[in-house]
Structure 1
């Protein structure tokens, strides 16, 4: 049978909640009058002395049931079970006192980069500093712990007012405090902090601590997707969107296994001759019911699931198969360029895999273009990524620096890495035939490339005017919807034949004619 204390615990909690509630003030005069009526002055004194004693006794026991750990003995790093237990206790305390609590999840962006550049000890020092700063911004009853390498959790002690406006103000205050420059032995570091939060009043009655934390984490995910230093509050819509993303993740995983995700190819033209100088392989999901699913919808799901390396293998195999097939058809397509994600470039076995694939298809390495984002080169000057890029270049693959101009690659980085071609981002190409500022910017980029002996390709060419002006300015290659949209391998073969006929009929097409 249950112990008597266990049976009395719910009663004690209800009585404690009643004693803490604001309605208690309305009952005090009535209780005092009843005591005086029944027992005269002795009854009045009994009520006056008994109520504070009962309040203190039950209050102490209630606190023992739901203790608040002193900040000095809180763990620095809490696992999921510990965090949920803390949230459960905070919710119990808030409900017992008819008050409110809330949860903030914070992500310190940039610690991984600090670890790569300044070492893991510096990154750990910054984690400790951020936790100290965070706790210094809180009240005595609030709790702050670290729940991951760069993630922190805050639980607010029971408060009378923790609505959306109050939580947003608190989140903003904490963000400003945490984003102050942090100085270590390796220099001054600037960390941005994204925040997602949820108040208990936005959840259904009786929601658990796990549910409160989950809601704050969903809001944090939305914040991280909206750029650095974003703050987002949880809404029910976010839950539905997350459920849809998880469903998409399961679908896209099956799509990879079934071969539904394949490369489509977009031609690249030489501005001097007008001929095809290569094609870029772009992932497309051919869904049996929804048709073509845009990459912007499924690539984030694959990245979140850690499947980018697997996607890279699929795209590479299909791309080399297509290139081999075009050769067999007598088509002149010099090379195929494949985008390599940061996850792929971190694979220590990447070089062996590429060498094996090229040998299997009987293709020389020069016919494979390796497209690397500018941010990857800037963020990974050393380590596995750098060794893989250097190794692929020594193997004979052509290295393209993708989206040039949108990141922060320096001239030093361009000289350190064996880059063969700059792919100039479409933001510099758009309206270049009509905007003088765009023309001056493009001329500067092309001049830099020429001095560094690098080939250039303009991305996102939409019309003949942009195509013609890029040719006049000296851009070596162009790519975009103004040339051709991405297409399947068979369709690309038909397009290439038709384009070769057009070139034969107009031999002067290209840079020389403007």
Structure 2
């Protein structure tokens, strides 16, 4: 089977070469044909010029003869006019003959002028042409005067008068012109002979070119194909079963090994312990970011090193393969204990967690690993892979995690699938609601809010974004949700304005995909126009993930456009992502939000406190405001006040609240707060919390 497969590959390769050779043959034939046509056209041109030159030679000779006839007739007419014995009838006949010869010579001159222009468009009249023209003018005057005047002129000047018009110069010029015409005729005949020879030789040249450049290489190719057959067999065997980048077995080899392990048994047969095995699926976390930031060359080098580390964690008899991209698969034969499989997976995870140094970069990635056991989790290849995929999906939700499939996971997966279906329906029906959490400027007591989406689930109650945002697996669903939030926020701001209330600006979290497409601007523009609002009524919050996007320039352009219209921009969750000092310098931010993970450690971790102070100083020095989120205790508030933080938000003041609760607080004057007496805030927190 393998040999016939290789033969088939060879035949395909040879067929392609023959087709290529045929194309070369056709091309060579077409080229020679074109050359032959060009030569034929050149020969036609040369023959045409030769014909013209022949006419020039003939007419020049005829011109010379006509010139001599005219000169002789003119002399005879003058002598006869001086002889009184010759009757007028004879003189009239001589005059008529002379006029006819003048017309003939003029016609010949005109024809020669046309032919000379055909040979050379820029040709000018020669001295011979000018002298002949003068000669004709004198002859015409002589023919036009009466016989008596002509006789007197002859009697006075004698035969010298007209002879000067046909002196020796004209005769010599005629001789030179006739000789030149015959020379040019001979040259054109020689050129025509050469071109005719080229035209005859062109088929022979074509045959030679085709033989040398097409037939001979084809014969050489046929001769070497057999010698290459064994080499092809070896190379194709390796390529068919090995990944070229990592040199691990590829997907085809994995499938063959996997099918051998999943033995087909009769329904009533039992699987022995030796029949069991474990499938592990590995997905590298954040690998796409490495490709986007450092390029595919660095990404490929990282994959090679990751493959080595995965292989080094395996024992003899295990099978590792690269399925494609950053996905790897491990087969562990004779494994029947989930704990043993998990131990191998943990070794792999540990190896992948070590820093990678490649292409001059030190990188840290991790691996999410999911596993399933045969036959415990399925007795067919499809079932085992499906269970391993579910385990991998669960591991990827937390990253750098190892999960072996179990029945509880299947139940969670089904529940999540049902939850996703219900969520899409909620977005379609615009059932999502917006809650608002106050942001208080502890420097000038100004109030603002952050809009937070909530899902009123009929069974589970009010769900926060952390419970359902990960269920959005398409850009269109995220866009629909964001558009719903923007419209609801704009409507609520308008209702507050109509009541005479001043909620300040409302911050909306903008996903990366919407900023890239520019839809963020369109959504806000529509909201501002529809509800007669100001751009400054809105602010948007962006996470540090935008710095990992290859579309940072598009995002920056959208942000700059919004900022110029009055929308303030906040960098959310600062300190937990990929923001660098360069990003802070170049990206147009107004506020920097310090992540709650740092605020939580105030009074507990001195390093966190120093980091918070540094963040506040950094924001102030860059001309930005600092926002602390997650403020829950009096101690945290006092620390932030002393550190110079501008704005705070958190449960110490109020939890996210629905529109009605916030409206009631604004109407009762509970927002903004009059002062920052911690005791006063402790008393008001409950009143401001509202129903959640």
In the superposition, the TM-score normalised over structure 2's length comes to 0.56
Q: Deviations over 1:168-189 (max 9, x none)?
A: 2332344455556555546444
TM alignment of 1:15-94, pairs within 5 A: 73-74=240-241, 76=243, 87-92=258-263
CA contact (8 A) 1:87 1:213 kept: no
Q: Which 10-residue stretch deviates more, 359-368 or 373-382? A: 373-382
Q: 1:378 to 1:450 in 2, by over 3 A?
A: farther
**Per-residue deviation at 1:379?**
5.8
User: C-alpha distance in 1, partners of 2:352/2:547?
Assistant: 28
CA contact (8 A) 1:272 1:510 kept: no
CA contact (8 A) 1:400 1:422 kept: yes
**Per-residue deviation at 1:160?**
3.5
CA contact (8 A) 1:464 1:482 kept: yes
Q: Deviations over 1:20-77 (max 9, x none)?
A: xxxxxxxxxxxxxxxxxxxxxxxxxxxxxxxxxxxxxxxxxxxxxxxxx987532649
**Counterpart residue number, 1:226:** 398
**Counterpart residue number, 1:263:** 434
User: C-alpha distance in 2, partners of 1:161/1:429?
Assistant: 46
User: C-alpha distance in 1, partners of 2:470/2:660?
Assistant: 28
Matched, 1:412 2:588: no
**Counterpart residue number, 1:117:** 293
Which one has more relative contact order, counting CA pairs under 8 Å at least 6 apart?
1
Q: 1:436 to 1:197 in 2, by over 3 A?
A: closer
User: C-alpha distance in 2, partners of 1:475/1:99?
Assistant: 64
Q: 1:309 to 1:160 in 2, by over 3 A?
A: same
Matched, 1:171 2:345: yes
**Per-residue deviation at 1:259?**
1.8
Q: 1:101 aligns with which of 277, 285, 303?
A: 277
Q: Which 10-residue stretch deviates more, 395-404 or 122-131? A: 122-131
**Counterpart residue number, 2:384:** 212
Q: Which 10-residue stretch deviates more, 188-197 or 139-148? A: 139-148
TM alignment of 1:415-426, pairs within 5 A: 415-426=585-596
CA contact (8 A) 1:273 1:509 kept: no
Count of equivalent residues: 436
Q: Deviations over 1:443-494 (max 9, x none)?
A: 3322222211111122122244543443343221221122122112222111
**Counterpart residue number, 1:192:** 366
Q: Which runs of 5+ in 2 are unaligned?
A: 1-235, 266-270, 682-692
**Counterpart residue number, 2:650:** 480
**Counterpart residue number, 2:104:** none
Matched, 1:153 2:329: yes
Q: 1:201 to 1:502 in 2, by over 3 A?
A: closer
CA contact (8 A) 2:548 2:578 kept: yes
**Per-residue deviation at 1:329?**
1.4
User: C-alpha distance in 2, partners of 1:502/1:339?
Assistant: 23
Q: 1:190 to 1:269 in 2, by over 3 A?
A: closer
Q: Which 10-residue stretch deviates more, 377-386 or 293-302? A: 377-386
CA contact (8 A) 1:86 1:209 kept: no
User: C-alpha distance in 2, partners of 1:189/1:463?
Assistant: 38
Q: Which runs of 5+ in 1 are unaligned?
A: 1-68
CA contact (8 A) 1:381 1:413 kept: no
Q: Deviations over 1:139-191 (max 9, x none)?
A: 887554444532222334xx344422332233234445555655554644443
TM alignment of 1:342-357, pairs within 5 A: 342-357=512-527
**Counterpart residue number, 1:3:** none
User: C-alpha distance in 1, partners of 2:329/2:526?
Assistant: 46
**Per-residue deviation at 1:240?**
0.8
**Per-residue deviation at 1:128?**
5.5
Q: Matched residue of 1:106: which SS?
A: strand
TM alignment of 1:265-344, pairs within 5 A: 265-276=436-447, 278-303=448-473, 307-344=477-514
CA contact (8 A) 1:105 1:217 kept: yes
Structure 1 or 2, whichever has the larger Rg, is: 2
Q: Matched residue of 1:108: which SS?
A: strand
